[in-house]
Amino acid sequence: MSYLALARKWRPKLFSEVVGQAHVVSALTNALTHQRVHHAFLFSGTRGVGKTTLARIFAKALNCETGIRAEPCGNCTACNGVDAGNFIDLIEVDAASRTRVDDTRELLDNVQYTPTQGRFKIYLIDEVHMLSTHSFNALLKTLEEPPEHVKFLLATTNPQKLPTTILSRCIQFNLKTVDIGGIAAQLEKILVAEEIPHESSALMRISRSAHGSVRDALSLLDQAIAFSNGDVSEQRVRAMLGMIDNRFILQLLTHILQGEGDQLLSTVSGMAEQAVDYAGALNELISMLHNLALFQVSPVSVEWKGVDTEELGVLAGNTDPESVQLLYQIALMGKRDLDYAPDARSGFEMTLVRMLAFNPGASPGSVKPPNQTAAGHPGKRKETAPADTVENRKPVDRPEASPGAPGAAGPGQTVPVSAPRVTVSAEDFKQLLDQDAWHRFIEGAGLNAVLKEVLMNAVPESVHDRTICLVLNESSRYLCNGKRVKQIETHFREKLDLDLHLKVNIRDLSREDSGIETPTQSIARKKQQDRDQARQQFTRDPDVREIVDLFDAEIAGDSIQPA
């Protein structure tokens, strides 16, 4: 019993059956409908996207016995002959095996003869970029001015290797890689017709592994049917493709987001016992972070991928978009560096540890360094003097700077980044209502970059007991959530010994009538004033004016920056 592979059995025979190439199909059918058919076409694209298939369907449409039409009938002698591969006026040439100039000349000697059966004699040259330079020269003149009864259909995966003289004489169609959803829908259609039980998530895995090639997807589907004994399930497809169990990836990401270092490395040890492919595991982690980022923007955007939206919902509720973006970038860098690691596992572990260390969303204090021990005294902690850092300094009450005093900001001025630290006593928070004092307090609080950015885009509006009511700028609402507010309060309490509570309101502070200016807006305004002043001084400079008048030049204002 002979078995016909799915890639051959389900090869499209009509334009309407072609998947993912609507732009090419539309151009070809329009040309056929209006009888404006060029003498040479070039189909380019990666493997398995339909280059030769489209060329054959186009050849059928040109030679169909019912006439030149947008869709061949599929039943006449010409259509059946093309499908069977024995239509005498369709000459298919594999350029990879016929690269010599003598082969090309022999082929072109028959161009002058009229077609035997069909309306046109069609030359379909596959992988045309493999021809030698002399072969291209031999083809060039015929390709430029062929007889009226000859059409050339060229197909290639590397159009950049073709001479420009050949490219300029062809109408070029660049075939796209087919998206995952389109491939999965085609696989679903085939399995339903073949009456083979399957899981949609398994088809998504196969489609993703095909990298945009429908033929590769059908080959993998053939393999999956044989591997799973006629029941295509996600678990069997994962095993066939050597993919890691999704629960491991979910555990890894959960431990990273929660800052659980011990559990993270324990999960890696569990993965090692199953001899996983660490490069594949890193790809799966990157894919999950990608889906998580899309889910945070729009939950419906990942539904077609067949992922577990309930799991993504739990992860999305425990982290913020900025952390996901940071982890995604770290994972991509880890993938790049994996080949340079001593072994795959160590490179994978270092990527996870880096994600753990740089994750701003992890709970404060969740990742702690081991105790330092004195040399030669195992188990005995080395006595060292505490470093003079922001965290180790206790708050000291200082008198509020009076107007005109050194270091005090005047009206309309901003405090420099290196401003001295202002410490607020637990009994009096009202001094923070002053804009300059609020800015100095933020600079000296020792917050990490993310938490500091939250306060730099907010202004204290009122103080009641130990609660400060902040107004956050509307454009920065993405920076702040309940988790971040708790992290800031925890930092104040543990690092600055301040029992301070925050209440955040969102308001548009960009309007001129708001009467409120955040530290970030104040810094931006000062920089703009400095730029404007520098531009005025530059344009008023006598030497500059002389150059402008002499060369009739114009000053590019945006290029002028303060020194």
- Amino acid letter, 71: E
Rounded Cα distance, 225 and 231, in Å: 7
**CB neighbours (10 Å) of residue 285?**
26
In this structure, the answer to whether residues 81 and 22 fall within a common structural domain is: yes
Instruction: Give Cα 203 to chain centroid, integer Å.
Output: 22
pLDDT at position 396, please? 38
Rounded Cα distance, 140 and 146, in Å: 10
Question: DSSP E strands: which ranges in 259-298?
Answer: none
pLDDT at position 261, please? 86
The domain of 533 spans: 523-559
For residues 464-490, one letter each, b for 16 or more C-beta atoms within 10 angstroms of the residue's C-beta and e for the rest, the string is eeeebebbbbeebeebbbeebbebbee
Q: What is the longest distance spanned by two Cα atoms in the chain? A: 104
Establish if 218 belongs to a structural domain.
yes
Rounded Cα distance, 14 and 53, in Å: 9
In this structure, the answer to whether residues 32 and 162 fall within a common structural domain is: yes
- Quick: pLDDT tens for 384-407: 334 443 334 344 343 443 333 333
Query: Which CATH number characterizes residue 195's domain?
Result: 1.10.8.60
Establish if 201 belongs to a structural domain.
yes
Query: Which CATH number characterizes residue 321's domain?
Result: 1.20.272.10
In this structure, the answer to whether residues 294 and 342 fall within a common structural domain is: yes
In this structure, the answer to whether residues 53 and 120 fall within a common structural domain is: yes
Q: Domain ends where: 241, 266, 285?
A: 241
Contacts of 305 (CB under 8 A, 6+ apart): 180, 204, 291
In this structure, the answer to whether residues 169 and 210 fall within a common structural domain is: no
The Cα-based distances of 557 to 394, 523, 560 in angstroms read: 48, 21, 6
Instruction: Give Cα 544 to chain centroid, integer Å.
Output: 47
- Burial bucket for residue 70 (CB in 10 Å: 0-12, 13-18, 19+): middle
Establish if 381 belongs to a structural domain.
no
In the three-class reduction of DSSP (H, G, I as helix; E, B as strand; rest coil), residue 14 is classed as coil
Instruction: Give Cα 391 to chain centroid, integer Å.
Output: 38
Establish if 387 belongs to a structural domain.
no
Q: Domain ends where: 188, 218, 241?
A: 241
Contacts of 189 (CB under 8 A, 6+ apart): none
**CB neighbours (10 Å) of residue 236?**
17
Establish if 403 belongs to a structural domain.
no
Whole-model pTM: value is 0.57
pLDDT at position 257, please? 83
In this structure, the answer to whether residues 436 and 549 fall within a common structural domain is: no
In this structure, the answer to whether residues 36 and 139 fall within a common structural domain is: yes
Q: What are phi and psi of 210, to 5 degrees?
A: -75, -15
Establish if 364 belongs to a structural domain.
no
From 378, 379, 355, select the one nearest 367 (Cα to Cα): 355
From 286, 305, 302, select the one nearest 294 (Cα to Cα): 302
In this structure, the answer to whether residues 28 and 55 fall within a common structural domain is: yes
For residues 381-403, one letter each, b for 16 or more C-beta atoms within 10 angstroms of the residue's C-beta and e for the rest, the string is eeeeeeeeeeeeeeeeeeeebee
- Amino acid letter, 29: T
pLDDT at position 414, please? 39
pLDDT at position 307, please? 64
Establish if 296 belongs to a structural domain.
yes
Tokens encoding 382: 């080395």
Q: Give yes or no for a contact between 316 and 295, defined as CB atoms under 8 angstroms apart.
A: yes
pLDDT at position 40, please? 92
Rounded Cα distance, 210 and 318, in Å: 33
Establish if 405 belongs to a structural domain.
no
Instruction: Give Cα 131 to chain centroid, integer Å.
Output: 37
Query: Which CATH number characterizes residue 462's domain?
Result: 3.30.300.150
Q: Residue ranges of the alpha helices (H) in 34-108?
A: 51-63, 77-84, 101-108
Domain count, the chain: 5
pLDDT at position 433, please? 75
**CB neighbours (10 Å) of residue 87?**
23
pLDDT at position 362, please? 55
Residue-by-residue pLDDT tens, the chain, 563 positions: 577 888 888 999 999 999 989 999 999 999 999 989 999 999 999 989 999 999 999 999 999 988 888 889 888 999 999 988 889 999 898 888 877 788 788 888 888 888 888 899 999 999 999 888 888 888 888 888 888 899 999 999 999 999 999 999 999 999 998 988 899 999 999 999 988 998 888 888 898 888 889 999 999 999 999 888 888 888 888 888 877 777 788 888 888 888 888 888 888 888 887 777 888 889 889 988 988 888 888 777 776 666 666 777 777 777 788 888 999 999 999 998 888 999 989 999 999 999 988 876 554 444 444 444 434 444 444 443 344 433 343 443 434 433 333 333 444 343 443 333 444 554 566 777 777 888 888 888 888 877 888 888 888 888 877 788 888 888 777 777 788 888 888 888 888 778 878 888 888 877 766 677 888 888 888 888 888 888 888 888 888 888 888 888 888 877 787 87
In this structure, the answer to whether residues 142 and 15 fall within a common structural domain is: yes
Q: What are phi and psi of 123, to 5 degrees?
A: -105, 115
In this structure, the answer to whether residues 90 and 170 fall within a common structural domain is: yes
Helix (H) or strand (E) holding 180: helix 180-194
In this structure, the answer to whether residues 281 and 211 fall within a common structural domain is: no
Q: Give yes or no for a contact between 488 and 452, defined as CB atoms under 8 angstroms apart.
A: no
Rounded Cα distance, 478 and 172, in Å: 46
* β-pair type (171-174, 90-94): unpaired
Q: Domain ends where: 174, 207, 225?
A: 174
Q: What are phi and psi of 88, to 5 degrees?
A: -70, -25
Rounded Cα distance, 86 and 168, in Å: 31
In this structure, the answer to whether residues 434 and 527 fall within a common structural domain is: no
* Residue 251 backbone class (left: φ over 0; alpha: ψ -120 to 50; beta: rest): alpha
- Quick: pLDDT tens for 42-99: 999 998 999 999 999 999 999 998 888 888 988 899 999 998 888 999 989 888 887 7
Q: Residue ranges of the alpha helices (H) in 411-510?
A: 435-443, 449-456, 482-495
For residue 71, the number of C-alpha atoms closer than 13 Å in the C-beta half-sphere is: 8
